[in-house]
Amino acid sequence: MPHPPLSGQTLLDRSEALAAISAEDGRLSRHYLTPEHRRANDLVAAWMAEAGMATREDALGNIIGRYEGETPGLPALLIGSHLDTVRDAGKYDGMLGVLSGVAVVADLRARGRRLPFAIEVVGFGDEEGVRFQSTLIGSRAIAGTFDPAVLDSRDADGTRLADALAAFGLDPAAWASAAHAPDRVLGYVELHIEQGPVLEALGQPVGIVTAIAGATRLAVTVEGFAGHAGTVPMTLRRDALAASAEMILAVESLCSGQERLVGTVGRIEATPGATNVIAGRVRFTIDLRADRDALRLERVAAVRARLEAIADQRGVAIAIEPLHDSPAVACCPALMAQLAASARALGLEAPELPSGAGHDAMAMAALTDVAMLFVRCERGISHNPAERITPADAEQGVRVLAHFVDHFQPASDRRS
C-alpha cells in the first residue's frame, strides 16, 4: 500500500532516492547543470506530475511544478528549495523543502482540493554555488535579480555558465524569461533543515525563522616585530600572535551575551611560523552575523575599536579590511504568524529563531514576501554526510506546511 502523501517516511525515502544521484560513488555531490542535475530534475518532475502538477524547466534549469487553483491561471504561492548540494553533502539540505512542497500538493490532490490561488513548487538548480562560485543562481533568476554577467563565469574546467546551460538543453539568451512577475506571485515559503543545534536544544521539532542573518566578514592583519624566541626579553617584544590572541578573545566576548548575534574567528595564519621565532605578522578573519543590521553594525564598530585599542597597548600595527557585507533579510511577519498558527493547530510550540545560514528565501525576498520553517536536525550537523533527521520530525514539518498552505492568506495585495 502506498504511503499517504504527508508521511515523514515517504519524505525520507525520496531523500534517499535523490541522494543516490551523485557524481561520486559512495558520497553525495550533485552540482549545477551536470548529468546528475538532469537526473534529479527528471525524478522530481515525475513526482510532481504524479502529484497532479504540470511541470516545466525554466531557462536557468530550475524545475517547476504548477498546481492550478479553483480556476486556471491564478497568481501562485511558491514553495521551494534547492536540489544542488555541496561536496560530500547530507541528504536533506535543500531536498527536504522541495519534497515537502510536492507532498503538500499530493495531499491537496488526494483530498480533491483546489485553492483560491495556484501553487508552484520549485526545485532551484543552484543555491550552493559550488560549480560557478556564484550562489543563488536559481532563485535570483526567478526573483528577477540574476546578473547576466554571471553567464560568463567559468567552472574549474573552464566551462562558461552560458555553455553549460546550452549543453543542458537550455537557451542562455533566454535567461530573463525565468523571472516571475511580482503580480503573479503571492508569497514564498521554504521548509529547510535547521543546520544548527537550537531546535534540538529546545526539544522542538520545528521552528519559525525570523530573518536570515546579515553578515560582515573582515580580514585583520597585525604587524609586530619578528625576533629570536630565546634572546628577546618579554618586556621588549612586539608579538603579533600574542596580540592576536587577545584580539580573538575580545571578539568572542563582544559577541557573547547578545541573543541572535554570533562572532567567529575561523582562520589564522602566523608568519614566519616557526617554533623559535616570535611571530612578526598575523592575519586572521572575523565573521560576524546578526538578524538585525543595526545590532551587527554597532558590534562591528565595537570590535574595530577594541582591536585598535589592543594594538595600541601592545605597540603593534593593525589593518582591518572588509571582505563581505550582506544585510539581514527579514521574514514577513504576517506569514510568520500564519506558520505559527498552523504549528499551534498541530499542538506544536514552533519557537522563533534566526537563520545563520543563507537560503533561497534570501533572493526570493526581492520578489515577494517570504517565510521559512525549520526542521530539527541531529546535533545541528549539515553540509556533511552525517546530516540526519527523523521521519517524525519531517512529518511534523510537512504537516505544518500543509496546514499553512490550506489556510494561506497573502500578506499584502501586490496585484494592485
- What does the binding site for Zn ion look like in residue numbers (CB under 5 A)? 93-94
- β-partners of residue 112 are none
CB nearer to Zn ion: pick between 140 and 314: 140
Nearest distance in Å: CB 258, Zn ion? 26
Cβ contacts of residue 413 below 8 Å, gap of 6+? none
When the beta carbons of 205 and 358 are compared against Zn ion, the nearer one is 358
Q: In sequence order, what are the residues at sequence separation of 6 or more whose Cβ sits closer than 8 angstroms to the Cβ of residue 169?
A: none
Based on CB atoms, which residue is closest to Zn ion, 117 or 124? 124
Shortest gap between Cβ of 82 and Zn ion (angstroms)? 6
**Residue number with CB closer to Zn ion (135 or 342):** 135
Give the Cα separation of 395 and 106 in Å (integer).
Answer: 14
- Of the two residues 97 and 410, which places its CB atom closer to Zn ion in the complex? 97
* Dihedral (Cα; 40, 42, 46, 49), 10-degree rounding: 110
In whole angstroms, how far apart are CA 365 and each of 43, 75, 182, 211, 338? 28, 17, 11, 11, 17
Smallest gap, in angstroms, from Cβ of residue 95 to Zn ion?
9
> Pick from 277, 300, 274, 280: which is nearest to 289 by CA?
300
- In angstroms, what is the minimal distance from the CB of 63 to Zn ion? 16
Closer CB to Zn ion, residue 117 or residue 374? 374
Cell of 118: 495556484
Q: How far is the CB of 138 from Zn ion (least distance, A)?
A: 12
Neighbours of 45 (CB within 10 A): 18
Residues forming a β-bridge with 262: 289
What is the nearest approach in angstroms of Zn ion to the Cβ of residue 360?
Answer: 8
> Which three cell numbers, joined as nine digits, stand for 277?
621565532
Q: At how many degrees (to 10) do helices 8-19 and 391-406 cross?
A: 110
Distances in whole angstroms, Cα of residue 140 to Cα of each of 40, 187, 212 = 20, 15, 16
Residue 87 or 306: the one with the smaller Cβ distance to Zn ion is 87
Minimum distance between the CB of residue 128 and Zn ion, rounded to whole angstroms?
Answer: 7
State the Cα torsion 329-334-340-342 to the nearest 10°.
-120
